[in-house]
Structure 1
Amino acid sequence: MTEDSFDTSLRKFLKTVGVTSQQRIEQAVREARARGQLPPALRARMTLRVEELGLEHVVEGEIRLDEA
């Protein structure tokens, strides 16, 4: 594998992760709003695992839902 093909493959994977994660969060927010159970912010955690490399990377953050 060349560096270019690795970079392209990695970026494609990360784009898929970003797009599908955003879609799932948006869907869950709509459902919570419909139930009247939407807080002003969400604590989020994303865990990336690559078992073959022994890699586990955790990113935590806050998603604001109120008018800021």
Structure 2
Amino acid sequence: MNEEVFNLSIRRFLKRAGIGAQREIEHAVEAALAEGRISPRESLAATMTLEVGGLELRVVFEGDIVLEE
């Protein structure tokens, strides 16, 4: 295994996933605010699941998305 290739591949995947996830969250929040389904002062519980096929890896990350402090 080439560690450099491996690490770069992981970083590319995480960057793509992070940027895509942020875009999806932003669009969903904008729509929910526009429709009045959430308040601008709300804090939203978030969960992200990472799965890697062939490794039996499944990790859940949890946190809050705060719209206003």
Matched residue pairs, number? 67
Residue 2 of structure 1: how far off its partner (Å): 0.8
Q: Which string of whole-angstrom CA distances, capped at 9 and with x for unpartnered residues, describes residues 9-61 of structure 1?
A: 00000000000000000000000011011240110000000120000000000
Uncovered stretches (5+) of structure 1, i.e. residues with no partner: none
What letter is aligned with 1:37? R
Provide the residue aligned with 1:58 in structure 2: 60
Identity of aligned residues (%): 45
Q: Distance in 1 between matches of 2:38 and 2:26?
A: 12
Structure 1 consecutive aligned stretches of length 4 or more whose deviation exceeds 6 Å: none
Is 2:22 the partner of 1:22? Answer: yes
Normalising by the residue count of structure 2, what TM-score does the alignment of the two structures yield? 0.92
Provide the residue aligned with 1:36 in structure 2: 36
Provide the residue aligned with 1:5 in structure 2: 5
What letter is aligned with 2:43? A
Q: Distance in 2 between matches of 1:51 and 1:9?
A: 15
